[in-house]
């Protein structure tokens, strides 16, 4: 006969079959995954001996026959075995078809993220909150295309996490990782006088007489900032009518050392550190500390280790658990301390810090009902990415992210930016009969941004117009007390503190502290989600599922650009709206011997739930005199319209043998536009009209996706996966400008004008099981064509309308960056080798290699400005090897693992796009001997500009063989992913 067991959570199970007169058979190691049918064949033998039992190990399924899409299924144990993976995002970016948070060319803003069926997406920014601790993961399922009809508001990928539940026994785990301090950028220390920013002002070969008049050759002059020399600076100060700025050349140089907080220079340069200047000019560190409460004027960085901890504990709730349906709990906590690559903030560079707490309570109300309560609290402590940015959620996402910051000399330059996330959820599962059950999921997610003033607003009139939107911090206004004189210039604690009477700059034009930390973001998003699903196994061939979901948002956005020394430039964005959407679906999973099909239909309705101006596009209500009336005049407003969308979904898997299948899927997918695209209004400065306005009437961006794939089992050991896909993307949003006759109305809005299509091919060979080794290798090829339909600008002036703003057709040439990865894990069996005190020293030992390769980036390089070249220059390919070495052992009831991860073990030079810009970039590319310089049509023109043809590739540097290359100047921005080692220990019981 045929039997089925429904509503089984993912995990590994033992199945027992009993029948009178037959042996009892138990099959162990049966793996169950999300949305999968696991087939188990059982053959019972007749027996006359009562109680006889046969136990067999279930065969591993290499090819998942009922899956009609490309998906990745992994357990937490498989995830953490990969070098350098500490969170879900890092694991995702290693999968074929996923690069830099892009799933088959689509961003995470169109992806879905679910935890135990609960929606975990910040709908205000369309950002998945992938803050699930690895210790809490039971199974991770990533679908890259062909989503079933039950999933709405997703176009690129679906990430589905099932978390662990507490069991009848107590379990615990700890994963701790420690990275010794290291410099996270290339080149010298930021405060080293030899650094690019300071070399021209400190090198005695040029600093007094100027870079043009010193002993530097022409090449070295090009490699550095041009400076007239301290002799000229001093002479100019002595010649003006202000006696308070008079200094000798050496005193002027020393003032820059002080303002830049430089360290002592190299031997022979005679450059004192900033602290040494105190004694040189008649003061001391003791006086400095008394005056300003600071131990040192200089600042150190790259002296703090990184740390990551993930701990869990689970089991039955003590005392009362047995009275509450066997109430179990699972608690997980993760904390990550990531030292900043460059100093940021106030005195202490400190850490980027992130923590996440998860709690799950599970009880069985009866044999057919299960109730789960979940809670999540997360916190990020970071800094904004810009001192005066007028954009939302613009913060550094890791400590390493600020390695290419351009103004580390500016303390308090960036405002603190914290993010607080809370989620609660309820899941109720009820089995109505052996063939039918339903699920109810209710959740609420809150994400609160808090980017606030880094300083104490003193004097008080600095906050008069800001009212309750001004949040104070701990950076005081700069002290007026001076502790020494360099010539006639009085010196105090600068660059520390806030100087609110105007900007302050070095002699090289770099800021050193005044109107800093001027960005604010107090945005908050609250999402309520209700989801109901009913599933029935109608017969052996049909599993029918239907359901609905309701999503309601409270979206509040507030961010502000503040200039305390020029208030007329202050501007802000603030709005609050309550959009909602409804979805319903029906789908059928048909399972026959030669075909498994998933067929479904989904209906979605979105409601912007607001009134919006419907005035003429060139209306004077957009100008500076009338903008305040635009939303306060009822006759100008109309209710924004909602949209109804119907999405067919089809997926077919066709087993062509016992070891192989072909599959195909097709579907229509929609996702909501971002909150900013729908509702954001930039009011502009006090003297400006509206600069941009959202459009809540936007249609939903649409993707029509096709995929054809093959899975093949080789020797019951290797899984070969190959897939080709095509995604036709329409109705994406883009900016359109409207300008009236006299430019008093000049703003942009969002319209459904952008389109794209993505074509790709991916292949992966996987060996997931083995006694001595496992491995996988993958290759991804993808090209994307994108463009813009219609005009990008409309003009009230018919003459401009005829001659400007045409973008039809605008088509971006497709560019591919193929990538490949391979992972090889070599290990010894647990009981391998000799035994000492119950431990096998060379057993459970493993070495894991992760090799990554990607074709070089492409750029447009048209030095003759012919207008004929686009994406014509490809850089050198990049490659990197990461290694993990680990040893497992058991002591008592505890399992331990010691490991070391080595990032970029070969110290490969991974160029950053920030390494060179502007003239520096032009000089570098012109110095290369590129093949394009031999183009017969333009060879003479290239030669006349000093460009010589050859076989050089962008990414090559000056060497003995190629002394003609003019290297990029900013060596501190040259390379990403500096080699380093991470040490770790795990244990569980």
- The confidence band for 58, taking pLDDT boundaries of 50, 70 and 90, is low
Per-domain boundaries in the chain: 11-57, 71-165
DSSP codes of every residue in 777-823: EEEEEEEEEEEE-SBSEEESSHHHHHHS-B-SSEEEEEEE--EEEEE
pLDDT band of residue 808 (cuts 50, 70, 90) is low
CB 349 within 8 A of CB 343: yes
Secondary structure class of 237 (helix, strand, coil): helix
* Res 458: pLDDT: 41
Q: How high is the pLDDT of residue 474?
A: 54
d(CA 248, CA 226): 20
The yes-or-no verdict on residue 331 having pLDDT over 70 is yes
State residue 901's pLDDT score: 98
Element (H, E) at 257: helix 249-260
User: pLDDT tier at 192 (50, 70, 90 boundaries)?
Assistant: very high
SS (H, E, C) 265-326: CCCCCCCCCHHHHHHHCCCCHHHHHHHHCCCCCCCCCCCCCEEEEEEEEEEECCCCHHHCCC
With beta carbons less than 8 A apart as the criterion, state whether 102 and 328 touch: no
Three-state secondary structure call for residue 486: strand
Q: Return the H-helix or E-strand segment holding 898.
A: strand 894-903
- Give the pLDDT confidence score for residue 390 in this predicted structure: 64
Q: What are 573-602's pLDDT values in tens digits?
A: 889 999 999 999 999 999 998 899 999 999
Chain-centroid distance, C-alpha 411: 26
Phi/psi region, residue 816 (left: phi>0; alpha: psi -120 to 50; beta: rest), is: beta
Q: Which of 345-354, 488-497, 610-619, 892-901 has the lowest mean pLDDT?
A: 345-354
- Mean pLDDT across 632-645: 94
Listed ranges 328-337, 377-386, 959-968; the one with the highest mean pLDDT: 328-337
CATH number of the domain located at residue range(s) 71-165 in this protein: 2.170.130.10
Average pLDDT over residues 77-88: 91
Tens digits of residue pLDDT in 97-110: 998 889 999 988 89
pLDDT digits (tens, 9 = 90+) for 681-735: 998 888 889 999 999 999 999 999 999 999 999 998 999 999 999 999 999 999 9
pLDDT of the residue at 473: 53
pLDDT in the model for residue 499? 67
Percent of the chain exceeding pLDDT 90 equals 67
* Local confidence band at 471 (pLDDT 50, 70, 90 cut-offs): very low
C-alpha torsion sign, points 337, 340, 344, 348: positive
The Cα–Cα gap between 504 and 497 comes to 12
Q: What is the pLDDT of residue 513?
A: 59
Task: Output 621-628 pairs: Cβ under 8 A, ≥24 positions apart.
Answer: 622/689, 622/690, 622/693, 622/738, 622/745, 622/747, 623/689, 623/690, 623/744, 623/745, 624/684, 624/687, 624/688, 624/689, 624/744, 627/683, 627/684, 627/689, 627/690
pLDDT at 463: 39
595-616 confidence digits (pLDDT tens): 999 999 999 999 999 999 999 9
Instruction: Provide the pLDDT confidence category of residue 468 given band limits of 50, 70 and 90.
Output: very low
pLDDT tier at 503 (50, 70, 90 boundaries)?
low
Q: Residue 500 pLDDT more than 70?
A: no
Of 149-163, 488-502, 538-552, 716-730, minimum mean pLDDT range = 488-502
Distance CA 605, CA 612 (A): 19
What's the chain's average pLDDT? 89
pTM: 0.90
| Mean pLDDT in residue range 22-40 | 84
Mean pLDDT check: name the lowest of 39-43, 175-179, 267-271, 295-299: 39-43
More confident residue, 925 or 507: 925
Specify burial of residue 594 (Cβ count, 10 A radius: 0-12, 13-18, 19+): exposed
Range scoring the smallest mean pLDDT among 65-79, 321-335, 420-434, 659-673: 65-79
Question: Is the confidence at residue 509, as pLDDT, over 80?
Answer: no
- For the record, the structure tokens of 734 come out as 């883009």
Q: Which of 577-581, 627-631, 709-713, 805-809 has the lowest mean pLDDT?
A: 805-809
Question: What is the C-alpha separation between 610 and 679, in angstroms, rounded?
Answer: 9
The set of residues, in sequence order, having a beta carbon less than 8 Å from that of 3 and lying 6+ positions away, is none
Res. 41 pLDDT band, cuts 50 70 90: confident
pLDDT, residue 502, reads 57
Residue 565 has pLDDT above 70, yes or no: no
Share above pLDDT 70 across residues of the chain, in percent, rounded to a whole number: 92
Of 243-252, 452-461, 569-578, the range with the lowest mean pLDDT is 452-461
Q: Is 527 within 8 Å of 444 (Cβ atoms)?
A: yes
Which residues face 651 on adjacent strands?
598, 665
Predicted confidence at residue 62, as pLDDT, reads 79
Residue 456 pLDDT level (bands cut at 50, 70, 90): very low
User: Which of 354-358, 493-497, 950-954 is least confident?
Assistant: 493-497
Give one DSSP letter per residue of 142-183, joined into a string.
EE-S---TT--S-SS-EEEEEE----SS-EEEEEEEEE----
Residue 243: count of CB within 10 angstroms of its CB = 9
Query: What is the reported pLDDT for 469?
Result: 40
Q: Is the pLDDT of residue 467 over 50?
A: no
Burial (CB < 10 A; 0-12, 13-18, 19+), residue 745, is: buried
Question: Does the pLDDT value for residue 388 go beyond 60?
Answer: yes
Q: List % helix, strand, coil for the chain (3-state, nearest 5).
A: 15, 45, 45
Token pair, residue 562, equals 């503040």
Q: Sign of torsion, CA 27 28 31 35?
A: positive
């Amino acid at each position: 006969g045929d039997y089925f067991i429904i509503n089984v959570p993912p995990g590994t199970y033992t199945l027992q079959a009993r029948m009178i007169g037959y042996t009892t058979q138990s099959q162990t190691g049966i793996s169950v995954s999300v949305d999968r049918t696991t087939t188990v064949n059982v053959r019972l033998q007749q027996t006359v001996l009562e109680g006889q039992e046969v136990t067999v190990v279930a065969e591993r399924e290499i090819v998942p026959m009922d899956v009609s899409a490309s998906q990745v299924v992994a357990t937490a144990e498989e995830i953490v075995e990969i070098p350098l993976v500490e969170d879900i995002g890092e694991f995702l970016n290693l999968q074929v078809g996923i690069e830099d948070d892009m799933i088959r060319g689509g961003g995470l803003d169109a992806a879905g993220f679910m935890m135990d069926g609960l929606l975990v997406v910040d709908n205000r920014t369309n950002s998945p909150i992938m803050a699930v601790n690895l210790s809490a993961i039971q199974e991770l399922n990533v679908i890259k295309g062909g989503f079933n009809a039950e999933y709405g508001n997703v176009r690129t990928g679906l990430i589905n996490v099932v978390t662990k539940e507490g069991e009848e026994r107590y379990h615990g785990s700890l994963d701790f990782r420690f990275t010794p301090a290291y410099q996270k950028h290339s080149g010298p220390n930021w405060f080293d006088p030899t650094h690019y920013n300071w070399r021209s002002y400190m090198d005695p070969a040029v600093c007094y007489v100027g870079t043009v008049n010193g002993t530097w050759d022409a090449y070295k002059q090009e490699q550095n900032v041009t400076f007239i020399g301290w002799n000229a600076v001093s002479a100019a100060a002595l010649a003006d009518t202000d006696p308070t700025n008079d200094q000798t050349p050496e005193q002027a140089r020393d003032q820059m050392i002080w303002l830049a907080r430089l360290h002592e220079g190299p031997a022979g340069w005679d450059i004192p550190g900033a602290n040494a200047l105190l004694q040189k000019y008649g003061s001391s560190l003791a006086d400095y500390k008394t005056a300003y409460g600071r131990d040192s004027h200089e600042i150190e960085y790259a002296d703090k280790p990184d740390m990551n901890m993930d701990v869990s504990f689970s089991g039955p709730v003590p005392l009362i658990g047995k009275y509450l349906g066997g109430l179990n709990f699972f608690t997980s906590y993760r904390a990550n301390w990531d030292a900043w690559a460059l100093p940021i903030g106030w005195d202490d560079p400190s850490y980027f810090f992130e923590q996440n707490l998860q709690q799950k309570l599970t009880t069985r109300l009866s044999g057919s009902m299960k109730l789960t309560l979940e809670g999540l609290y997360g916190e990020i402590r970071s800094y904004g990415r810009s001192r005066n940015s007028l954009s939302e959620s613009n913060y550094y996402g890791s400590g390493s992210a600020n390695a290419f910051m351009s103004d580390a000399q500016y303390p308090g330059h960036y405002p603190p930016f914290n993010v607080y996330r809370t989620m609660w959820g309820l899941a109720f599962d009820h089995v109505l009969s052996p063939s039918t059950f339903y699920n109810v999921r209710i959740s609420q997610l809150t994400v609160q941004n808090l980017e606030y003033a880094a300083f104490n607003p003193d004097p008080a009139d600095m906050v008069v117009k800001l009212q309750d939107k001004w949040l104070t911090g701990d950076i005081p206004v700069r002290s007026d007390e001076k502790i020494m004189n360099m010539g006639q210039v009085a010196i105090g604690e600068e660059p520390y503190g806030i100087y609110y009477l105007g900007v302050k700059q070095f002699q090289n034009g770099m800021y050193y502290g005044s109107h800093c930390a001027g960005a604010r973001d107090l945005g908050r998003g609250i999402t309520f989600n209700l989801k109901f699903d009913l599933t029935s196994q109608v017969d052996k061939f049909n599993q029918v599922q239907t359901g609905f979901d309701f999503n309601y948002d409270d979206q509040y956005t507030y961010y502000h650009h503040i200039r305390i020394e020029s208030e007329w430039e202050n501007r802000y964005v603030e709005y609050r709206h309550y959009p909602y959407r409804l979805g319903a679906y029906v789908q059928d999973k048909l399972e026959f011997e030669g075909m498994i099909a998933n067929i479904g239909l989904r209906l979605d309705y979105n409601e912007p739930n607001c009134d919006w101006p419907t005035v003429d596009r060139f209306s004077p209500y957009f100008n500076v005199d009338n903008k305040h009336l635009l939303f306060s005049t009822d006759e100008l407003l109309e209710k924004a319209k909602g949209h109804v969308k119907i999405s067919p979904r089809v997926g077919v898997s066709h087993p062509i043998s016992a070891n192989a299948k072909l599959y195909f899927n097709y579907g229509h997918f929609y996702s909501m536009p971002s909150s900013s695209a729908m509702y954001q209004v930039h009011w502009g400065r006090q003297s400006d009209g509206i600069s941009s306005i959202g459009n809540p009437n936007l249609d939903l961006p649409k993707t029509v996706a096709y995929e054809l794939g093959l899975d093949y089992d080789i020797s019951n050991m290797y899984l070969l996966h190959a897939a080709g896909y095509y995604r036709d993307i329409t109705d994406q949003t883009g900016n359109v400008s409207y300008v009236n006759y006299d430019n008093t109305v000049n703003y942009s809005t969002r319209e459904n004008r952008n389109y794209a299509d993505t074509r790709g091919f991916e292949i992966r060979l996987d060996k997931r099981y083995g006694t001595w080794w496992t491995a996988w290798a993958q290759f991804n090829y993808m090209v994307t064509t994108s463009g813009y339909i219609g005009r990008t600008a409309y003009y009230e002036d018919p003459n401009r309308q005829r001659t400007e703003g045409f973008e039809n057709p605008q088509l971006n040439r497709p560019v591919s960056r193929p990538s490949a990865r391979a992972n090889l894990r070599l290990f010894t069996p647990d009981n391998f080798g000799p035994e000492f005190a119950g431990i096998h020293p060379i057993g459970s030992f493993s070495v894991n290699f992760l090799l990554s390769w990607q074709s070089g980036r492409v750029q447009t390089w048209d030095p003759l400005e012919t207008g004929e070249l686009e994406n014509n220059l490809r850089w050198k390919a990049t490659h990197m090897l990461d290694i993990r070495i680990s040893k497992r052992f058991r002591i008592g009831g505890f399992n331990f693992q010691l490991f070391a991860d080595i990032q970029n073990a070969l110290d490969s030079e991974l160029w950053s796009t920030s390494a060179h810009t502007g003239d520096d970039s032009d000089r570098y590319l012109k110095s290369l001997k590129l093949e394009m310089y031999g183009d017969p049509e333009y060879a003479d023109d290239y030669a006349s500009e000093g460009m010589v043809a050859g076989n050089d590739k962008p990414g090559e540097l000056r060497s003995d063989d190629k002394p003609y290359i003019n290297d990029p100047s900013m060596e501190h921005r040259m390379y990403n992913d500096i080699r380093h080692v991470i040490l770790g220990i795990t244990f569980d019981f």
